[in-house]
Chain A
Amino acid sequence: MKKKPFTARLRFGVQIAFLILVALTSLNHSLSSYGIQIPFFGSASLHAICPFGGVVSVYQFVTIGSLVQKVHEASLVLMGIAFFLVILVGPAFCGWVCPLGTVEELIGKIGRRIFKKKYNTFVPPAIDRYLRYLRYGVLVWVVYVTATSMKLVFAEYDPYYALFNFWTGEVPLTAMGILALTLIGSLFIERPFCKYACPYGALLGLFNKVRIFTIRRNPSTCINCKACDRACPMNIEVSTAGPVRDHQCITCMKCTSEAACPVQETVELMAGSFQVKPIENVSAGNIPAGKEAGK
């Protein structure tokens, strides 16, 4: 069995750590009503530890100095950290931290086993291309309704909230339904909610245009094997890009020379640009042992 590259194992470890942290914090919050506490973990409502709560509160915070109901100062702190991170390295929050994305990926592993190479290719590109912008509509709608109603309207539809509160009986049916659709969809499509509906992912995705560290492909050493394209969970064509400025990139590092790319220093997360080298410089010596193009 082919061993997973270190980058994949590291990212998976970080993702699982955040998933456990959020799940146990939310569970502790529910258990606190019964006077029970899981040791070493805090207790907070999910709204309090979601950076998107900070985003939807910004309008109210600026205009009248208060936060939307159920959102607390911690959300603003997390929003600040996530913004700092996204300017530095792009939406790594989506690829490394977001627990809903992690769960989608976990289910996606089952889908990948079932459908093999067909996995994540079910939506025709012509439709998919436009569906990718749906999440901006969701973002505009959520910000608008929250600003005008001063209530956390998105909680009614939020699969992230549903995922970590389904046991409480407080989750609206709409949110449960969207969670179910997301989980089922993950069997066919990698990260369906992230791709088509996540308003926070939409906002963070915009920073791909201006981030400091960007995924870059070195055209002078690229052997055009398209291994990066196949590895990308968001279906981005890395093989035709120089710097990857696609709004859907989540900085998962799957396409890089540390993981899928068989040529050293050809797809990298970096600040600055590659020095253009003549194509003949690409030699078998640049391809690490054990890596085969296209696999």
Chain B
Amino acid sequence: MRTYLRSTPLGIVIVGLFAGGILLSQALGWWSTESRKIARKITTGEFAGKADPADIRGSYSFQDIEKNFGVPVKILAQAFAFEQEKDPGAVRAKDLETKFAGAAETHPQTQPQAQTQPQAQPQPAVQPLEIGTDALRLFVALYVGIPYSPKEGTGIPESAFRVLKENGKLSPEKEKAILPLVVKVGKDTAPSGTIPTGEKAEPSAPISPSVPSAGGQPEKSPTPQSSGGAAATGVTSGSAQPAGSSTGTGGSSTSTTEPLIKGKTTFKEVLAWGVTKAQIEKVLGCPMPAEGTVIKDWCASVGLEFGTIRDALQKLKP
């Protein structure tokens, strides 16, 4: 049996299939062309059930952030100098990049110091820092007291630092930790306290979950995490020891305090330590993705907290 399909019916089939398929999927609720702007929840640990600041996307508006994290639009506008904006709630995370483009590139920053050299003096250097979506993630994380490892090269404007400080969101340890990331922008006035650019800072750990806010006693985290990125800010400066680090006896630090898994570390690198795939899968609780997958990206995609997975994997190192 033969059946011809001529141009007219073919055209109708094509248009009909697309139009019908789209309408049907809309009716079934499958048609979605944008993020629903509901931040992923943290699934494990102390902050389980809370919205994860790491999931803030460039398309999130200040309004979306208020809805998800409870940080008022007014505070966000103040922190990122959008107070003059007609509708600050509509400002999107990715707008920060445009607003602060170039502004953050020439400010002398304190060079992060390795913990292995606690006595070394910080060296001023011109370090290009970027204020964009990740800066907003960091700000929100600090504001709500959830740990977050910013990406390498992320900075926050002085105005944001000031807002955090004025609202009592920075413990002395946190303040010290984020100082190297604070960027003086344009006509911003100095914060209520001056920014001591020569401060010692330990940028090797994310914001500790156990330091909920300033004003309270800064506590040491029971499981402070080590770095998720080279520019991660730490609250473990001074005497605090990162989890899984050396005992630090005699005041000396050892190389075990080095961040092993960073923001760009892949599963392949972990396997290269001599860790088996089975061990990794035990930590993940599911099959390991492709070896070349970046651990942090994978955690973000499956809704797991990077810090938790990172620490667990780090402990596997022989």
Q: Which residues of A contact B (CB under 8 A)?
A: 6-7, 10-11, 13-14, 17, 33, 35, 42-45, 48-49, 60, 63-66, 69, 72-74, 76-78, 80-81, 84-85, 88-89, 92, 96-97, 147-151, 213, 251, 253, 256, 258, 265, 268-275
Contact = CB atoms under 8 A, between A and B. Distances in A.
A75 B286 CA distance: 26
Contact of B31 (A10, A73, A151): A73
A54 B216 CA distance: 49
A243 to B, nearest CB: 12
B17 A273 contact: no
Interface string B1-33: 111111110110111011001100100001111
A253 B13 CA distance: 14
A164 to B, nearest CB: 14
Given A7-B6, A72-B34, 6 more contacts: A33-B92, A64-B289, A89-B14, A92-B14, A148-B293, A273-B2
Contacts of A6: 7-8
A271 B4 CA distance: 7
B297 interface: yes
B11 A84 contact: no
Given A44-B34, A72-B34, A150-B293, A253 B25 contact: no
Interface residues of B, number: 40
A84 B17 CA distance: 9
B2 A149 contact: no
Contact of B8 (A10, A63, A96): A10
Interface in B270-308: 286-287, 289-294, 297-298, 301-303
A245 B35 CA distance: 40
A80 B33 CA distance: 15
A272 B32 contact: no
B14 A85 contact: yes
Contact of B18 (A13, A69, A72, A81): A81
Contact of B301 (A60, A81, A269): A60
Contacts of B10: 89, 92, 96, 251, 253, 269
Contacts of B294: 149-150
Contact of B7 (A7, A80, A265, A273): A7
Contact of A72 (B2, B32, B301): B32
A149 B13 contact: no
